[in-house]
Amino acid sequence: MTSLTRRAAAAGVTLAAAAAVVTYATPAQAQTDDAATTATVTVQAAITITVDPTFTLAGVPGDAATTSVSFTVTSNDPLGYTVTVQPVTTDLVPADPTNPDTIPFSDILVEDDTATLVPLDPANPVTVHTQATASAPGGDTITHDYELTVPFVTPDDYTGEITYVATVNT
């Protein structure tokens, strides 16, 4: 025993040598789990129509005035679509407010979906196109004709609105 150890023993103190042991833990393994989700995309039926904004039938009284009008329909409905036309009012009215003349819309003939010229009817729409399939992705462009035997009225520009309606088939 060394003198330091004897003194410590006499004092009742015990000295112990400690050795430190260093160990390295292995890294924890990552936990995994699998789960899935279902993506749902709901595509609804859609339809749009664009039409030439104006057309003109011109001539002298008695002339047969004709013109063509184009419209484009885009529809993804597999049952297809139908396009109708209908005047908003019964008559075309003159630009000159002092002109008392009008032209009945029914004097204008429109090419229907059977390629027959029929009178425009303010009370009933005329079907101008129908098909049993969806349009091409960029739309279907259809052209149809209008015809008018120019009536004997005061020279003027007579105007009126025709509504084009595209409807998906059911």
CATH of the domain at 159: 2.60.40
Q: Is 109 inside any structural domain? A: yes
Task: Give the domain extent around 74.
Answer: 66-168
55 compared with 14, residue with greater pLDDT? 55
Going from the C-alpha of 158 to that of each of 65, 92, 111, the distances in angstroms are 14, 5, 21
Q: Is 9 inside any structural domain? A: no
Q: Is 43 inside any structural domain? A: no
Q: Is 29 inside any structural domain? A: no
The model's confidence at residue 107, banded by pLDDT at 50, 70 and 90, is very high
Range 42-47 contact pairs with CB under 8 angstroms and sequence separation of 24 or more: 43/76, 45/75, 45/76, 45/77, 45/168, 46/74, 46/75, 46/76, 46/77, 47/73, 47/74, 47/75, 47/77, 47/81, 47/166, 47/167, 47/168
Q: Over the stretch 125-152, which tens digit does the pLDDT of each residue have? A: 999 999 999 999 999 999 999 999 999 9
Q: Is 102 inside any structural domain? A: yes
* pLDDT recorded at residue 34: 87
Q: Is 136 inside any structural domain? A: yes
Number of domains into which the chain is organized: 1
* pLDDT recorded at residue 21: 60
* pLDDT recorded at residue 20: 55
- The pTM of this model reads 0.77
* pLDDT recorded at residue 4: 44
* pLDDT recorded at residue 15: 43
Q: Is 49 inside any structural domain? A: no
